[in-house]
Amino acid sequence: MNINKTHLQDFNKQRLTDHKEQFGFLSIQLDKAQINTNDIIQQLQTFQVAIPSWALGAGGTRFGRFSFGGEPANLEDKIDDVGIIHALTQSAGAISLHIPWDIPNDTEAIKQKAAINGIGFDAVNSNTFQDQNDQQHSYKFGSLCHTDKGVRKQAVEHNLQVIEMGKTLGSKAITVWLADGTSFPGQHNFRKAHQNTQAALQEIYKGIPDDWKMYIEYKPYEPNFYSMVIPDWGTSLSLAEGCGENAFTLVDLGHHLPNTNIEQIVAILMMKGKLGGFHFNDSKYGDDDLTVGNVKPYQLFLIFNELVYGMQNNEGGNPPLAWMIDASHNLKDPLEDLMQSLEAIRIAYAQALLVDRAALEIAQTENDVTRCQEILQRAFRTDVRPLVAEARRLSGGAINPVDAYRQMGVRKQLIGKRGVNVVATGL
């Protein structure tokens, strides 16, 4: 199903007076601070975040999964769902596919459907953390790191197939995340596991076209609980450097131990020109896959503060980043959840764009610690929601996407079309 443009315009008309009043008030404040509102609106409008194909169904934990009705049963439905999110938010112009959960049956038809919805194909994701029915070797004891050469070869070949599939769709990157690791001390020879992984990643890297990138994601624990082969950004960076100039580190917010200073990691990686992509989510304890910005909005702002600085001061030649939401939780309608995440991302981005960088640089140089905090928090505490809404409205989206989604009864329509008991492929 598609969002009816007339209904969307009607919805915006109801909200327009209030919105104009709030936006007008903010514009006056920004003008006084000599901030160019139109510049910020333009930057917000071009900022697009990919939706992963696995986030559109009900997520789950290892204890259970609760369906909610109208889930997308196949890739076509998933693209429709991203199309709905994009129509309402104008900020989700791409889908990131997970292989083998979302192998297109008819590539041309899928490309057409995506094009109609204004959706492109972001990085493709391989999967060597599960065994598939038809595969020869098991990944129980690892994939690219495995002691058995046959297993490593199978895992490399899978990644090469994913690249081929991505090429037919128009993707320009592959993301490799490995569940490889150990749950018991002594289980691995750490050095050999690392060497096997580096050699296998080099094989995969050889398979990417010249205009592609390879992103190497890291995670400190889970599903293995004693060691992970790629536990942190240092290991990822070293492996990326061992592959070549088109290999990069990918930072996933949830893939850090509690209280890790993620903004500092982002700053250093960008300075070195090696930050490839970013996965958004939020967490209280670990990789909880919660809605972006719902627990730690200040951390999200501080990360964006470094991202914006990195984009504006790009002497390391860092390429444009691949932005994706990587969350899949149990309790909310995933489309509402994703729209809330997109809103949180744009709010943090807009706030980071408001930081008075010249004043901050002076305060930093003069070691005026109080002033540094005042400058950052002044930006963070500005209510930029009317600005984000205005950018979205001007692009043709809803002033308030979640309210519009509910008022239009989108979920009810999806259940009517797809049924109550349908289960999305994937997690």
**Shortest Å distance, C-beta 253 to Mn ion:** 9
Kindly give the pairing relationship between strand 247-252 and strand 227-228. unpaired
Nearest residue (CB) to Mn ion, 306 versus 326 = 326
Nearest residue (CB) to Mn ion, 217 versus 306 = 217
Pick from 207, 127, 101: nearest CA to 164: 207
Nearest residue (CB) to Mn ion, 87 versus 237 = 237
Helix axes 369-380, 334-354, angle to 10 degrees: 140
**Shortest Å distance, C-beta 29 to Mn ion:** 37
**DSSP for residue 318:** P
Residues 225-254 that bind Mn ion (CB under 5 A): 252
**Would you mind telling me the total number of residues written for the chain in this entry?**
427
CA distances from 259 to 156, 232, 405 (A): 34, 14, 35
CA distances from 158 to 136, 189, 347 (A): 12, 25, 38
Q: Tokens 């050095």, residue?
A: 191
Nearest residue (CB) to Mn ion, 54 versus 304 = 54
Nearest residue (CB) to Mn ion, 188 versus 219 = 219
Nearest residue (CB) to Mn ion, 3 versus 49 = 49
Residues 339-378 that bind Mn ion (CB under 5 A): none
Nearest residue (CB) to Mn ion, 324 versus 384 = 324
Q: Which of 19, 78, 256, 279 binds Mn ion (CB under 5 A)?
A: 279
Retrieve residue 120's tokens: 């492109």
Applying CB under 5 A, the span of 182-190, 191-199, 274-282, 367-375 interacting with Mn ion comes to 274-282
Query: Does residue 77 bind Mn ion (CB under 5 A)?
Result: no
The one-letter amino acid code at 62 reads: R
**Shortest Å distance, C-beta 326 to Mn ion:** 4
Nearest residue (CB) to Mn ion, 19 versus 274 = 274
- Per-residue string for binding with Mn ion, 307-336, x by CB under 5 A? -------------------x----------
CA atoms within 13 A on the CB side of 44: 34
Alpha helices (H) along 33-89: 37-46, 75-89
**Shortest Å distance, C-beta 133 to Mn ion:** 25
Retrieve residue 212's tokens: 């592609």
**Shortest Å distance, C-beta 279 to Mn ion:** 4
**Shortest Å distance, C-beta 343 to Mn ion:** 20
**Shortest Å distance, C-beta 254 to Mn ion:** 7
Applying CB under 5 A, the span of 260-268, 275-283, 292-300, 411-419 interacting with Mn ion comes to 275-283
**Shortest Å distance, C-beta 252 to Mn ion:** 4
Applying CB under 5 A, the span of 19-27, 279-287, 373-381, 400-408 interacting with Mn ion comes to 279-287
- Phi and psi torsions of 25, nearest 5°: -60, -45
CA distances from 387 to 8, 260, 312, 391 (A): 19, 31, 21, 6
Applying CB under 5 A, the span of 16-24, 36-44, 206-214, 277-285 interacting with Mn ion comes to 277-285
* Beta-bridge partner residues of 96: 52
Q: With contacts defined by CB under 5 A, how many residues of the chain interact with Mn ion?
A: 3
**Shortest Å distance, C-beta 356 to Mn ion:** 33
**E strand or H helix that includes residue 50:** strand 50-52
Alpha-carbon span 265 to 234, nearest angstrom: 9
Nearest residue (CB) to Mn ion, 81 versus 326 = 326
Task: Name the region of 292 (left: φ>0; alpha: ψ -120 to 50; beta: rest).
Answer: beta
In the complex, which residues of this chain contact Mn ion (CB under 5 A)? 252, 279, 326
